[in-house]
Structure 1
């Protein structure tokens, strides 16, 4: 016999005492760390935007994903020719392929929410990616890319998880998709003619997407094609040459078998050239040079395409595309003379002469290739030797070795040892003479090829420094202080002090830690906000200033945004020269509950006592829901939307415990709630804030007290008919009360009147009416829900499924919706 619920759960008075005692401990600083510590992150974050880009000259409807973001969250996008509304629109739910039900895990889980918006792309917008961010009174998020293209665009539609349901596309095209569930596979069908070289450029990891994609191509006979495949960062790019004319299929899936709204991708299908790399990989400022751009051939090798490039007058990387290429590649611009290596310098005896200062562009064209260079040096003059593989996603790992006239090792460095991938040797020749440099790859004897490109720079050591940050957003609460880590890379022989300067600091915020002592490789820059600082977003530019050789040198802090793969490879640059500072509004409320186990039956809506602490006179309604972040799988537990009135301080939070929860898998359930509000601050600004409960609702589940079921799993039906469905309640002695039964979310054209099974009764018949003008699919799933009330205001919920089926021979396509004629 199942024990009655009321003999297990704490009374409201006991729950209230627990909350008051906890708040007392917090106020006294005596609460245990284990209980006080918030076990889920509470700052807002962005997860994705879908689609992740659009075509020039269009307006793109997007769904913006994030966690812990309230309605009315601010939306900002930066980029030439890009505009968008300043706030997110309505919350939406996509049409996603459901994942199979699995046993709940003990691992943390997140549930991003999605919100509508739209982005207008000017016809002359730059093809460089834009950057978007979210912010609210609780803080801002890091930037993510929004890609601008000039090809037709398609947004995938579900379900296309079977080859027969492949979505038809016409080349060239950019496809926007999501692997939105564990069972989701995305098939696309396209025509190709014999001899066509089709390129498949997939962008996922470089967006910061959660997707690790598998990309496959199938020929008209359904056989998988062994395509030329390589990686740009962590993203696969394929090319194949069509052997026959016909319909080919593209399949996108997840290597981890995981999926969700944040598993976003963009795939460009075209027959235009895909640029893999360029050689030489750079040039001198202001000069015009012929550069070979290497494209995919579809049969395993690269095809050079020479194009004339005019290098800009400023140093650094720039992205370029040439001819009718579908993508851009980076080139580097420097202010030193440039030369390309000779092809016969594989031995020390045939070393290429280096004239200082100089940039040497080289290729390790085979696994056994190595390049030798001869240096004539003056004693006592410090030299800087740098070697950088290009482009950033290159598989090359240069190893530079310096030897003397006798062949003895003087110095060596490799790309693995370098923080930023640039091999560096700082060396001072003891006397005038000749020395030799050898460049080979760390994978010598195993890997090499025309794409193993490097730029070797040798010059007198020039003291310099570089500054960087791993984040591009800073959140500081009113009346609080936050620190940001700044990495310092001392170049050449520089080891002097640096002064940090932040431009754009708003009123009420001061900066500390701006003086970096000589020789430091890291520093903490602190931002301090007064209690009276206005909650807002501002863009800052942080730079460092130092005195070098009698001149003042300034360098910007480059901040990493979120659009990159684990190795830092993005669509173009994965860093920006600005950061967003958000002054976070002080909390206006806190949510508490008694963090002690309570007992509730599966298949009930259990009232869990909570308390809200309103701060600084805040008296607005608070809207509650289940939190986006949880410390473990909830196994279907949910919190129906609940509003706390402005005069409430204690309330019963409804916890829906599905009857389908697994038995004996989790010892208990821990549920975080979150609440969001909108208010006007003292500056007259509309603010929105979301707060996660300080403590967890802790539940141990008991067996169900009642089960609703249909006697027949399937019921034959025709149009203009009434079908009777026999329903049964399997009761336990713990619940004998009445239950109201209704058809839940019926398809258009199908209805059923609500019925009641009286107290103590166990059966009833529900009449399902099918309209005269209905066109039925072959099978239509229906769901009945029974609701009753136990003692103690605990609501009992049970559901049962039944399927309406057409008579044999009358069924239509199973994917057709139920619609009126």
Structure 2
């Protein structure tokens, strides 16, 4: 059952956080600001849950360092009431000063009392960053603080209620781009957040900065600049900028990119909007998205010199702390279109560009062998970097679409297999390609467009020579594209009925078209393959113990075979159990076991999967990802840069519990099978309870009991729900009853169910009855 000798010490714990590190690990919801310029040193606030005790800052890549400054617990209702009294008293004092009264003497402020109108000393304020220097704040600052603390539209959210402040230093030579920021605590690593390294000057909102008549005039910011802010409920942020006639401004917001999904909000992210106002206060440009990307990009050619305002808000005026944004403004290079959208491996491929502020009109694409199938490229104009755009690299022969090919009579002949680089150049256009096939041949036609940031929403049809539709497809979900919510690329497969000519048609499903509506069409026999994801991207495991992980399979072109997953170049002591993914399954639970020695620094691990396809061994990397929820129901596998494992110190050592024999457990359909666990005799064994983690339907634990030398688990298979031949993994979690103690350490007579840990994954098969 898994690797022989892999063992797990069951640790008798009093809290779930100690024994199940992933369950009790700290969680991050946002970072503000979510980036910094090269060479900057700044204070960053991160919000999340279970953050008390965090002690380390991890940032991927080179050149960004961070240290923990302070943990800030959420304010209680009592503390908020005390703060309200202080705000009233200080506001009255400021108003008195504004009416010309003498400045108050340096003595404790008092609040109005009850009967007799006697004044009482104000309660002591909690130590909180928002309250430091409270008595020196202006009326405007007090009003802004009141809005932050007592906004009636604010909805409490435990997932971002706790905060930690960090000091972050960015090396001047740090490479620009996205990094992953995590915090480290004794209970484990957090999930990653995006933290950006930029190369533009940066500015931060200074509340109040809403567009109200009483707003104080602020100095205009020079361009280019990156604006940083947070949107609270009903909030509207404005920044004043100095612009010059003739400037071709690009205003590029990043909000959803920073926090891709919100589990408890609809549509599931901060839907930012940007608007530009001229010196007279007139709105001259507005954007609430960029094509299909929720993050807006605005383009505007400045007609006259002057001070312009950039406005940022949520599209429906929502807001909270994790509505964080970064907006780049300036005469920045921005690529809006690329053609072709890729090239053949090892070929010289030069793409034509379209966009703003792009003197070079072409871009050489890197097609060297050995890289990813989907890559990204950008260019530098002067000292300014453009946005990165994706493109594809493939091994099949490539051809260019040749017009006219708008109907069956003008269909462009294409050999099999081929990748056609084309575009729907005008509204209503249809591109038609003619292929020759034989009866019984399987064929696949697939469009890559939306996955390469083309606005095309493809519709794909396969017809016979007479025009009869044999297969068609509009959208097909690609779970490997975890940031896409509209999977607009088409995919179809069919078996050709006769020898002869066939046509493949590509169009936009809504009849749109234009220079940017490019695509890559693959027409070939099926190419069975697979991709793999592992979640979560950060694993927390006690030394010498095991923790569950999930490996997801993205099967391609009908591949249905078995896959073996293994650690690659792992440090000594790490082991993977349950590494076989049986044929036909789209994912399994596995377990990762840690070395016996506790090491504070996290490990970067790599997994790879191997399968036999067409008689050849195919190896694919396992990409780290996080399984994120969107809008209460939808789930997405969002890729991460690293797969990290933190090995935490066990709070107490007890004898290990190991699987007694190797090999898969065979459970007869409708019957039972026994699994033996070896361990030293302990008093708690009689009270141990076990559960299966998310087991397949029809598999259950019938009984667990102490036996000489350890424990016996009896597994049962329901013959009506799980068929013979089915195979998978089981992850067993153990619990015991622990008596609660009072504050003096005395037993209370009440018990709670405490987790003891997980066993290495147990492979099983369902045998005949």
Deviations 1:76-103 (CA, angstroms, capped at 9, x unpaired): 1112x32314x42234766575334428
1:317 aligns with 2:374: yes
2:163 maps to which residue? 113
Matched, 1:137 2:201: no
CA distance in 1, matches of 2:649, 2:218: 49
Question: What is the deviation of 1:198?
Answer: 1.2
Aligned to 1:747: none
Does residue 271 of structure 2 align to residue 212 of structure 1?
yes
Structure 2 unpaired stretches of 5+: 1-11, 15-19, 73-127, 131-143, 261-268, 481-486, 653-740, 746-769
1:84 match: secondary structure = strand
Correspondence for 1:175 among 211, 214, 227: 227
Aligned pair in 2 of structure 1 residues 334, 410: CA closer, same or farther (>3 Å)?
same
Partners of 1:206 and 1:569 within 8 A in 2:
no
Would the alpha carbon gap of residues 486 and 56 (structure 1) be closer, same or farther in structure 2, given more than 3 Å must change? Answer: same
Determine which of 564, 568, 579 is the counterpart of 1:503: 568
Task: Tell me if the contact between 1:127 and 1:148 (Cα under 8 Å) persists in the aligned partners.
Answer: yes
SS at 2:257's partner residue? helix
Q: Is the counterpart of residue 494 in structure 1 residue 534 in structure 2?
A: no
In the alignment, which of 164, 167, 177 is matched to residue 128 of structure 1? Answer: 177
Alignment map for 1:351-370 (pairs within 5 Å): 351-370=411-430
Q: Which of 441, 462, 477 is matched with 1:402 structurally?
A: 462
2:68 to 68, 88, 110: 88
Cα 1:67–1:493 shift into 2, 3 Å: closer
Moved more, 228-237 or 262-271: 228-237
Q: Deviations over 1:296-317 (max 9, x none)?
A: 59xxxxx996214142303422
Partners of 2:401 and 2:31 lie apart in 1 by 45
Other-structure match for 2:394: 334
**What is the CA-CA distance between 1:377 and the residue it aligns to?**
2.4
- 1:274 and 1:327 in contact (8 A); partners too: yes
Q: Would you say the 8 A contact 2:48–2:160 is kept in 1?
A: no
Asked if the contact 2:202–2:226 (Cα under 8 Å) also holds between the matched residues in 1, the reply is yes
Instruction: Identify the match of residue 29 of structure 2 among 47, 56, 61.
Output: 47
| Structure 1 position 393, deviation (Å) | 4.6
Secondary structure of residue in 2 paired with 1:366: coil
Rounded Cα–Cα distance in structure 2 between residues aligned with 1:174 and 1:311: 29
Q: Check if 1:78 corresponds to 2:60.
A: yes
Deviation digits for residues 233-274 of structure 1 (CA, Å, limit 9, x no counterpart): 211111122232211101112335344443221110012332
8 Å contact kept, 1:54–1:121: no
SS at 1:349 equivalent? helix
Residues 1:236 and 2:290 aligned together: no
2:622 matches 1:557: yes
Shift of 1:427: 3.4
Answer whether contact 1:178 1:265 (CA < 8 A) is retained. Answer: yes
Q: CA deviation at 1:503?
A: 3.1
Deviation sequence 1:788-817 (CA, Å, 0-9, x none): xxxxxxxxxxxxxxxxxxxxxxxxxxxxxx
TM-score, scaled to structure 1: 0.60
The SS at the match of 2:284 is coil
What SS does the aligned partner of 1:650 have? coil
Q: How many residues align?
A: 546
Deviations 1:716-741 (A, max 9, x none): xxxxxxxxxxxxxxxxxxxxxxxxxx
Give the structure 1 partner of residue 94 of structure 2.
none
Give SS of 1:235's match: coil
8 Å CA contact 2:29, 2:159 repeated in 1:
no
For the Cα contact (< 8 Å) 1:508–1:534, is it kept in 2? no
Q: Distance in 2 between matches of 1:338 and 1:118?
A: 47
- For the 8 Å contact 1:294–1:304, the answer to whether it is kept is no
Q: CA deviation at 1:461?
A: 2.4
Deviation at 1:512, TM superposition (A): 1.9
Change (3 A) 1:450 1:471: farther
Q: 1:435: how far off?
A: 0.8
Name the SS for the 1:90 alignment partner: strand
The alpha carbon displacement at 1:544 in A equals 0.6
In the alignment, the residues of structure 2 paired with residue 387 and residue 65 of structure 1 have an alpha-carbon distance, to the nearest angstrom, of: 40
Quick one: which of 280, 283, 294 aligns to 1:224? 283
SS of equivalent residue, structure 1 residue 186: strand
Residue 575 of structure 1 pairs with residue 631 of structure 2: no
- Structure 1 position 513, deviation (Å): 1.6
CA distance in 1, matches of 2:366, 2:376: 11
What is the aligned-residue RMSD (CA, Å)?
3.8
Provide the residue aligned with 2:44 in structure 1. 62
Shift of 1:386: 1.6
CA–CA separation in structure 2 for the residues paired with 1:339 and 1:56: 43
Post-superposition offset of 1:105: 6.8
Structure 2 equivalent of residue 280 of structure 1? 340
Instruction: Give yes or no for contact 2:53–2:186 (8 Å, CA) kept in 1.
Output: no
Q: Is the 8 A contact 2:240 2:307 kept in 1?
A: yes
Structure 1 stretches lacking a partner, 5+ long: 1-26, 30-37, 298-302, 589-647, 653-821
Alpha-carbon distance in 2 for matches of 1:417, 1:259 = 30
- C-alpha change, 1:448 and 1:416, in structure 2 (3 Å) is farther
Partners of 1:542 and 1:578 within 8 A in 2: no
The structure 2 residue matched to 1:198, chosen from 245, 249, 253, is: 249
Q: Is the 8 A contact 1:206 1:565 kept in 2?
A: no
CA contact (8 A) 1:290 1:306 kept: no
Counterparts of 1:564 and 1:456 in 2: how far apart (Å)?
Answer: 32
Q: 1:282 to 1:104 in 2, by over 3 A?
A: closer
User: Residues 611-650 of structure 1: matches in 2 within 5 Å?
Assistant: 650=743
Q: 1:348 to 1:448 in 2, by over 3 A?
A: same
Q: 1:560: Cα distance to partner?
A: 2.7
Match of 2:602 in 1: 537
Task: Tell me how far apart the structure 1 counterparts of residues 536 and 517 of structure 2 sit (CA, whole Å).
Answer: 31
Task: Check the 8 A contact 1:295/1:304 in 2, yes or no.
Answer: no
CA change 1:184–1:651 in 2 (3 A) is farther
Q: What are the residue-to-residue correspondences of 1:665-680 with 2, within 5 Å?
A: none
SS in 1 for 2:279: coil
Rate the CA distance shift 1:142–1:531 in 2: closer, same or farther, 3 A.
Answer: same
Say if 1:74 and 1:136, in contact at 8 Å, map to a contact too: yes
1:416 offset after TM fit, Å? 4.0
Q: What's 1:102 paired with?
A: 152
Residue 210 of structure 2 corresponds to 161
Q: Secondary structure at the match of 1:415?
A: coil
Give secondary structure in 2 for the equivalent of 1:88. strand
Q: 1:8-49: per-residue Cα shift (whole Å, max 9, x none)?
A: xxxxxxxxxxxxxxxxxxx9x9xxxxxxxx9x9843111222
Q: 1:465: Cα distance to partner?
A: 1.1
Q: For 1:457, which of 518, 522, 534 is the aligned residue?
A: 522
Name the CA distance, whole Å, in 2 between partners of 1:343 and 1:229: 35
Q: Which residue of 2 aligns with 1:425?
A: 492
Higher helix share: 2
Q: Deviations over 1:341-372 (max 9, x none)?
A: 22322212111221222211222233412211
Structure of higher RCO (CA pairs closer than 8 Å, 6+ residues apart): 2
Distance 2:628 2:278 in 1: 33
CA distance in 1 between partners of 2:221 and 2:152 (Å): 35
**Contact between 2:343 and 2:367, CA under 8 Å: does it hold in 1?**
no
Does the CA contact (< 8 Å) of 1:292 and 1:304 recur in 2?
Answer: no
Cα distance change of structure 1 residues 194 and 583 upon mapping to structure 2, 3 Å threshold: same
Counterpart CA distance in 2 for 1:510 and 1:71 is 29
